[in-house]
Amino acid sequence: MADLKPPQTTASKLRAMLAQENEIVVCPGVYDGYTSRLALNVGFKILYMTGAGTTMSRLGIADLGVATMNDMRDHAAMIASLDPTIPLIADADTGYGGPLMVGRTTAAYINAGVAAFHLEDQVVNKRCGHLKNKELVDEDTFSSRIRAASNMRAQLSRDIVIIARTDALASLGYDVAMSRLRKAVEAGADVAFLEGVTSVEEAEKFCTEMKGVPCLYNCVPGGVSPVLNVKEAKECGYKLVITPTLALGAVYEAVSKAYKGLIEEGDTKGNGVAVRTLFESCGLNEAVEFDVKAGGTLYQKGV
Ligand SMILES: C[C@](O)(C(=O)O)[C@H](CC(=O)O)C(=O)O
């Protein structure tokens, strides 16, 4: 029998990262296997799967609550599988229904290898937190979502870090949003996410008033919040920063340019990155090595 030791869970790795004093956990937004590989290749030890990006890349639709639990779970499972030692934080929107459904989502995300997920207080037909006229569920309904996640985690004896997100700031104000987050923490949430923070002062106040509960900053250029860099977010007191649209924006610009070059000038080369380099960014050499080591004959002479 092989000597197989159970690996440390990615949820407990993330908890250890959050417990480090004077550190902020910087999470690159990824939205598919390719962007996840690119983030891992530059050395990130954590990934954030954006729901907006998942909906855009998987369905070609804007962040309007169209992706189902299965879409999100499948996407998260694929991303988490690329390097199962790396914690993946994944968007879980509203949890996709009542407590029973949120419990099911929690179990599905745990089984998909997700280390942490965020659940919010918008209605199920939600929209991006940086769009206008969001509708919310009441405070008790939000608490029940968090409690369902926490109860399922306990029932399964499997860890997942629960991030409570409130979208209440925009329509109900700071105090109501804080009350929702405090109740969410009482119901079992580990991390607080105040969506749509409007100023640095508000960000600092929020981190102070959450009294030791790790706080997450959502950096969305062109949204309603100031675009804080990592140092600034840390100085406000945040323990986590996510950048959901970083890769989406980079791809928007670079790919649009390449396609325009093709349609307007017949440029078939684009930036000319060699195909082998592209494959290598997605584990070509490691895959070949794995196959050869196991005695496979397909790639013995190289590829
Ligand atoms: C964090 C977020 O839920 C996401 O899907 O990544 C979005 C980000 C975005 O749409 O830019 C959000 O609602 O803030």
Model confidence pLDDT, tens digit, residues 187-227: 999 999 999 999 999 999 999 999 999 999 999 999 999 99
Specify if 197 maps to a domain: yes
Specify if 136 maps to a domain: yes
Model confidence pLDDT, tens digit, residues 4-25: 887 899 999 999 999 999 999 9
Arithmetic mean of pLDDT, 138-156 = 98
Residue-level pLDDT at 187: 98
Residue-level pLDDT at 3: 80
Mean pLDDT (the chain) is: 97
How many domains does the chain fold into? 2
Where in the sequence numbering do the catalytic residues fall? 48, 63, 91, 93, 118, 120, 128, 165, 195, 218
Specify if 187 maps to a domain: yes
The atom of ligand 1 lying closest to the CA of 128 is: 13
DSSP for 39-106, written as a single string: HHHTT-S-EEE-HHHHIIIIIS--SSS-S-HHHHHHHHHHHHHH-TTS-EEEE-TT-SSSHHHHHHHH
Place of tokens 């985690």: 153
The whole-model pTM stands at 0.97
Specify if 3 maps to a domain: no
Specify if 79 maps to a domain: yes
Arithmetic mean of pLDDT, 255-284 = 98
Residue 1 in this model has a pLDDT that exceeds 80:
no
> Do 14 and 115 form a contact (C-beta atoms < 8 A)?
yes
Same domain for 40 and 179?
yes
- Determine if ligand 1 sits within 6 Å of the CB of residue 214: no
Decide: helix, strand or coil at residue 33: helix
Same domain for 137 and 64?
yes
Residue-level pLDDT at 6: 79
Residue-level pLDDT at 2: 80
Residue-level pLDDT at 31: 98
Pocket test for ligand 1, best of 48, 57, 63 (most atoms within 8 A of CB): 63
Range of the domain at 104: 10-245
Q: What percent of the chain has pLDDT over 90?
A: 97
Model confidence pLDDT, tens digit, residues 166-176: 999 999 999 99
CA-nearest residue, atom 6 of ligand 1: 50
Please give the DSSP secondary-structure letter assigned to residue 145. H
Model confidence pLDDT, tens digit, residues 91-114: 999 999 999 999 999 999 999 999
- Residues facing residue 28 across a β-bridge: 243
| Residues near 136 by beta carbon (within 8 Å), at least 6 away in sequence | 121, 122, 123, 142, 167, 168, 171, 172
